[in-house]
């Protein structure tokens, strides 16, 4: 069976974008990149999302970037539909679809499908916010562990956004959120027409160092001013999926607390880096649930060459 798409996944700061561009330059065939990132879909959120630069996007066609205003939301089901369409269109143009990103639920949705998860319920969400203000998110995490242990096991007790969503689904449907994630017809084997390469660190300390350095670079590049501009619009708030993105959430909270200058930077560097490390941990947990992936050590000097070799071999084996 011909290879329809190649995926390049991994935790944040693993170097996915650089490897993807190297692949596009080195494969010797047209490549188009499809972003698998729940933050890159938002316009006006460039620094904190590490969005590919205009020069990078000019080198290789990129898709599913700058789709929406931050006041709107984008779901895994929408991604799966958009990515499926794009894979067909890119293939029809004679190019290789390269799906690149770290939103693992999006990869899962594309490969395994999703049952119809109910839309957000403002009343239930408001009730959960009120309970969290009184009891704290760790208490709600404990409640989630009783009704949906599979979801609770992959969420830290302070992950307000995901705990709230999981409990919202439970209260609205009586079904745990994990029950909406299909397993696929051949668990452990993956789709026969795709290759997923996972950039994963052999050293967690290496990844944490990269995360700290990247977050500092975002602050140097003007992340705080980017969040200030978004706040100044007046129609955005911390409850929106866009403003819950790692980095944006921490800067928004620091500004709410009245921090400024060096104190603001020090606080946001600490909280933002910690939240990013937690995100990376969740991403690696998701990846371990995809045993069919091909792992490349992203902290090895030959990570790009090893990835290129895997992709070339797969294309050769599949006659693509």
The residue ranking higher by pLDDT, 31 or 185, is 31
Average pLDDT over residues 24-45: 97
Do 33 and 63 form a contact (C-beta atoms < 8 A)?
A: yes
pLDDT digits (tens, 9 = 90+) for 125-166: 888 989 999 999 999 999 999 999 988 988 888 888 889 989
Cβ count near 149 (within 10 Å): 11
> What pLDDT does 319 receive?
63
> What pLDDT does 188 receive?
56
Which helix (H) or strand (E) is 32 found in, with range?
Answer: strand 31-35
pLDDT at 213 over 80: yes
Give the orientation angle of helix 223-232 with respect to helix 261-288, to 10 degrees: 90
How far lies 7's CA from each of 107, 160, 303, in Å?
A: 8, 29, 15
**Global pTM?**
0.84
Q: How confident is the model at residue 20 (pLDDT cuts 50, 70, 90)?
A: very high
* Percent of the chain predicted with pLDDT > 90: 78
Can you give the three-state secondary structure of 60-106, one letter per residue? CCEECCCCECCCCCCCHHHHHHHHHHHHHHHHHCCCEEEEEECCHHH
The residue ranking higher by pLDDT, 37 or 132, is 37
> What pLDDT does 46 receive?
98
- And the tokens for 281? 């941990």
Q: How confident is the model at residue 185 (pLDDT cuts 50, 70, 90)?
A: very low
User: Across-strand partners of 9?
Assistant: 101, 198
Q: How confident is the model at residue 182 (pLDDT cuts 50, 70, 90)?
A: low
């Amino acid at each position: 069976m011909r290879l329809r798409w190649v995926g390049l996944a991994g935790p944040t700061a693993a170097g996915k974008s650089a490897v993807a561009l190297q692949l596009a330059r080195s494969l010797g065939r047209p490549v188009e990149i499809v972003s698998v990132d729940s933050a890159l879909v938002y316009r006006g959120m460039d620094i904190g999302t590490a969005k590919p630069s205009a020069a990078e996007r000019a080198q290789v066609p990129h898709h599913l970037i700058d789709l929406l205003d931050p006041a709107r939301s984008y779901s895994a089901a929408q991604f799966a539909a958009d990515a499926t369409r794009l894979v067909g269109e890119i293939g029809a143009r004679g190019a290789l679809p390269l799906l690149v990103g770290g939103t693992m639920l999006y990869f899962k949705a594309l490969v395994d499908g999703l049952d119809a998860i109910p839309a957000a319920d403002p009343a239930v969400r408001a009730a959960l916010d009120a309970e969290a203000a009184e009891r704290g998110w760790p208490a709600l995490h404990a409640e989630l562990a009783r009704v949906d242990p599979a979801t609770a096991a992959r969420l830290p007790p302070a992950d307000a956004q995901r705990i709230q969503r999981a409990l919202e689904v439970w209260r609205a449907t009586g079904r745990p959120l994990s029950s909406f994630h299909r397993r696929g017809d051949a668990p452990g084997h993956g789709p026969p027409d795709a290759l997923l390469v996972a950039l994963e660190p052999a050293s967690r300390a290496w990844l944490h160092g990269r995360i700290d350095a990247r977050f500092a670079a975002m602050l140097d590049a003007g992340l705080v001013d980017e969040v200030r501009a978004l706040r100044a619009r007046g129609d955005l708030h911390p409850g929106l999926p866009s403003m819950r993105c790692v980095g944006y959430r921490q800067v928004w909270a620091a500004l709410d607390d009245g921090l400024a200058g060096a104190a603001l930077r020090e606080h946001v560097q600490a909280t933002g880096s910690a939240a990013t490390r937690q995100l990376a941990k969740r991403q690696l947990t998701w990846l371990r649930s995809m045993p069919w992936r091909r792992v490349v050590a992203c902290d090895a000097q030959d990570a790009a060459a090893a990835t290129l070799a895997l992709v070339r071999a797969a294309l050769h084996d599949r006659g693509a």
